[in-house]
Chains A and B, each alone.
Chain A
Amino acid sequence: MKRIGIFIECKNGRLKDAVGGVVTAARCDGGELYALLLEDGGDDGRAALESWGVHTIVDIRGENGPLPYHPSRWAGALARTIRHFDLEALVGLSSLLGKNLLARVAAELDAPLVLDCTAIDAARHTAVKTLYSGKTRATLQTKGAVHLYGIRPNAVAPRSSPSRANRTAYSVALPDDPIRLREIQRSADSGVDLTEADTIIAGGRGMAGPEAFKLLEDCARPLGAAVGASRVAVDSGWVPHRMQVGQTGKTVTPKVYLAAGISGSVQHFAGMKTAGLVIAVNKDPKAAIIQKCDYFVVADLFDIIPALTEQLNKISSKAQAMR
């Protein structure tokens, strides 16, 4: 039996939405799944984990109770848990937190790690991920005593595989850590850099002025997206140059590029042509971008964008209400 550990991320006292996909990805023939929790997964956490096939739930604690979040101490706790339960793999989310923790664990164990996987085979120790800013797709194989994988959020759809899970607590004794966590600063904005954003929503001539960019910000918030602009918006003084996407602005490589009221000149396209999914909203059916996108809507962005924001907020508050 292969013992496969899964680091379960939580948020606001519940399992994170993307966890189901991670557990599903970790499942394989002959695999025994150990869900590792450093925080409270909530009342329905256990049921959810069992629905995805977890066999053992491990509540990792410190010597005096729950371990408060601390990047290297949490990583140390996970490393010790792996050793203690003789796990041959650790699978987690390739979120910012997951990337941080998995890399620290891998370094401590001197074990191979592949992050941002879109698929893994825990039995064969293979993982698929993109390289070169999404321009190639590679199949990698890990060799070693312990294998670590970070799954790209939402890359794997959760599939149920009902099981019953034992629950056990594991107390770790961690040495003094040179890193001191001074504070955590919460922020309302995603604050993500345009060139690093996974999702970008950009406005062009159709925005007709600076005020309309507030609409884009409202839409960007539930998406965790960055807001960009075409040259026209910058030349007209509606937004600063640092928001410009294009030949004389920034080159971006997001997974999603939502172009609102952008005609899609060749100079603009030069800045975002490697985007994964391009969705265009434009009143003009002859706008050049409609030839160059994946999906388009011939409609007024002032109708579509608020409608999208409303639906996004509904989903996000529905999720909140379920907590």
Chain B
Amino acid sequence: MNIFVCVKHVPDTAARIDVKARCRIDENITFIMNPYDENALEEAVRLKKVTPEATVIAVTVGGAAAQETLRAALAMGADEAVLLETRSPLDSIQTAGALAEAIRRRGPADIVFTGKAAIDSEGFQTMFRLAAHLGLPAASNVVSFGLDQERAVVTCEMEAGDREVLEMPLPCVIGAAKSLNQPSYPTLPAILKARKKEIHTTVLEALDLPAAAGHVACLDMTPVVDARTPVELKGTFEEIAMEIIHLLRREAKVLP
């Protein structure tokens, strides 16, 4: 069984984000594996453990630094690692096309796990595009996964805590949510073993993939500055409650 996991090398949530040139950030900061991809990888490794003759293949599209995330994937239990190397910033459409090609070349895929979104671009769509390229059904925001007679049974989180339970044939694409599992991190011996493994690298541009018809380009990017000047809310308890609701509605926009 070929279990693919698509991972992304992203800035740490704690990292300071400095906008450098138009739409690019200063990358001299801490980068990590996209946290949702950790959940995806964990589920893939758990599936491998109960499946005879299964291989977990981690795939990523990114710069040379993305090798770090592939090493982390190998340390967490992936058997193989594939890097499609590029210096260009890619949108979701391009990324999905590249991942699909990498999977086809290494393939065939019996199942693909990936995080439901990347914490930098927050696009929430690459996995669906990947599934469309490969002609596979897909489900995202998955909080539980199981196999029932060669069919994937997944529970997906919906609004207000509701959940939908879907069933799909294999192969399919699964978008992991945080509560899917608790990732099991590697011990030092596993980290050491992973350092010695080969990462299969191909330059993306050399694949000469056809240009996509659609595209998302970044025109401009500015930092969000958060300087707080505290303002006191006064009045009766009811007035203060109404004022808070007003803030939630007008400023934070979390209420209609």
Contacts and interface: CB of A to CB of B under 8 A. Distances in A.
A198 to B, nearest CB: 6
Nearest to A253: B13
Interface centre among B19, B119, B160, B232 (most CB of A within 10 A): B160
B237 A291 contact: no
Chain A at the B interface: SS class? mixed
Chain B at the A interface: SS class? mixed
Nearest to A109: B214
A279 B162 contact: no
A17 interface: yes
Contacts of A72: 137
Interface residues of B, number: 83
Given A116-B122, A251-B14, A108 B132 contact: yes
A42 to B, nearest CB: 16
A2 interface: no
A144 B252 contact: no
B120 A103 contact: no
B226 A71 contact: no
A179 B137 contact: yes
A138 B218 contact: yes
A109 B252 CA distance: 33
A280 B120 CA distance: 29
Nearest to A252: B13
Interface string B1-36: 000000000010110010100010100000000000
A311 B128 CA distance: 40
A173 interface: no
A187 B253 contact: no
Query: Which 6 interchain pairs have the tightest Cβ spacing?
Result: A144-B214, A187-B161, A17-B256, A107-B128, A191-B161, A307-B237
14 contacts: A104-B128, A107-B132, A110-B213, A113-B125, A131-B121, A132-B120, A137-B224, A143-B217, A177-B137, A178-B168, A181-B165, A185-B162, A188-B161, A294-B230
Interface of B: 11, 13-14, 17, 19, 23, 25, 91-93, 96, 119-125, 128-129, 131-132, 137-141, 153, 155-169, 172, 178-179, 212-224, 226, 228-234, 237-238, 240-242, 244-245, 247-249, 251-256
Given A18-B256, A96-B141, A312-B245, 10 more contacts: A71-B164, A110-B213, A115-B123, A133-B122, A140-B217, A141-B219, A182-B153, A293-B228, A297-B240, A308-B245
